Structure 1
Amino acid sequence: MACRTDLLSIFDGIEAVCFDAFGTLVEISDKRQAYRPLFKALSPEKRRALKYRLLREDRAFTVWPEALGIEVDPMTLLEVMERMMIETGSIVMRPGMADIWTRLRGGGLRLAVCSNLSSDYIPALRSTLPDRPDLEVLSCKVGAIKPEPAIYAAVLDGLQIGAGRVLFVGDTPRADIEGPRKAGMKAIRMDELVAVMESG
């Protein structure tokens, strides 16, 4: 755990804050494991393929059977859709994060979002945030997931500033702390950011 002095200085030289999305900025309040019926309908080989590709390719759930070269019972896809509608309809900002977002925006910082996300959840995420981020780096759009180096490179390419001027905030050690730091960014846990903002 960083000491209070370290936390207070975390914004020194920072021009942009990049947030993880789910578990950091937003959360699904009614989780239904939307893709589970689709996974259950697949052979082990196809499950592995979908697990690898789901967050790396920009495809709606309805086209995954064709992309995988298989046929799936329409009722299976209907169940996926029903679960997904419940999940996406239950996405909310995490407590206090809307205020933090607004304060950082008001302080002149650029705001970015970097998330491992399937394309089906993008509209719900966008509609939940207080405003449109300056940059979105979503795994299904860039073909890489955290903690792969390519996704952090996409953040830096998009922001067009030095890595040391970006603060990454998230809740997962490998994906949101270790990965960004290896890419040269500063990184802190979400609870540490909350502590900084509350002390300020």
Structure 2
Amino acid sequence: MNTPPLTIKPKLMVFDLFGTLICPGIYRHPFRKLLIWARNNGRRPTSSDARTIMTTPGSIDDIASALGITVPQSLIEEISNDIVKEVECTSLYNDVESTLENIKALGIDLALCSNLATPYSAVIDRHLANFSFDLSLSCEVGAVKPEFKIYDHVISLTSASRDEVLFVGDTVDADYTGPIEFGFSALHLNRTSPTAGGSIKNLTEISYLINKTCE
């Protein structure tokens, strides 16, 4: 995996959320509970269930309805409480704020592009309210990475051209291969392994790479 060199300073930097900026604390798998309940009550799972969960706007009730599931209110409340606890246990990785401040200082705009169910968007206000982002969230756009529709939405919100966009995230298909195929530059964030090929191991490397384009 080889990242195209950053030959120009990007006008827009797009970040994934979970695993990139947001560090999860606990996993309660609330939507798995929903699907297990549905299976136990006669609904067979489908290959599109995860996509439906992440592309349906609205409440947990709305998501269940989109899946064709009618569930008891007690389960809705349990799922809601699970998500609240998950969100409460999230944090920013320790390199996020300084990196975002440095990018702002370089005059580069910021955007978020994430596959997530609507209730999880609460992490943005919880942790990133001090920064201004264009938002391309699967639950609002109706598409998931690496579908081109969601990258199209990123472009629709900016004056930058595709070759002026740098995408950063921790999932190869969604945050690296997909964006490059769409025409963006991209960096794969791998926090657990040494840097290799097109990967960076932390966000502090980004400012260095951008500054190199200005030399």
* TM-score, reference length from structure 1: 0.87
Instruction: Please tell me whether the aligned partners of residues 15 and 110 of structure 1 are also in contact (alpha carbons under 8 angstroms).
Output: yes
Residue aligning to 1:10:
6
Q: Indicate which of 23, 26, 36 corresponds to 1:27.
A: 23
Partner SS for 1:12: coil
Q: Which runs of 5 or more residues in structure 1 are unaligned?
A: none
Q: Displacement of 1:99 after TM fit?
A: 1.0
Q: Which runs of 4+ in 1 moved over 4 A?
A: none
What amino acid sits opposite 2:8 in the alignment? Answer: D
Q: Distance in 1 between matches of 2:57 and 2:44?
A: 18
Instruction: Please tell me whether the aligned partners of residues 52 and 67 of structure 2 are also in contact (alpha carbons under 8 angstroms).
Output: no
Q: Displacement of 1:11 after TM fit?
A: 6.7
Q: Distance in 2 between matches of 1:11 and 1:18?
A: 17
Q: Displacement of 1:130 after TM fit?
A: 5.2
Q: Distance in 2 between matches of 1:86 and 1:164?
A: 39
Q: Distance in 1 between matches of 2:88 and 2:51?
A: 26
Q: Distance in 1 between matches of 2:37 and 2:150?
A: 30
Partner SS for 1:159: coil
Partner SS for 1:168: strand
More helix by share: 1
What amino acid sits opposite 1:120 in the alignment? Answer: P
2:57 pairs with 1:47: no
Residue aligning to 1:96:
95
Q: Which runs of 5 or more residues in structure 2 are unaligned?
A: 191-199
Instruction: Please tell me whether the aligned partners of residues 55 and 138 of structure 2 are also in contact (alpha carbons under 8 angstroms).
Output: yes
Number of positions where the alignment pairs a residue of Structure 1 with one of Structure 2: 196
Partner SS for 2:113: strand
**Counterpart mapping for 1:1-200 below 5 A:** 10=6, 12-43=8-39, 45=43, 47-48=45-46, 50-129=49-128, 131-191=130-190, 192=200, 193-197=203-207
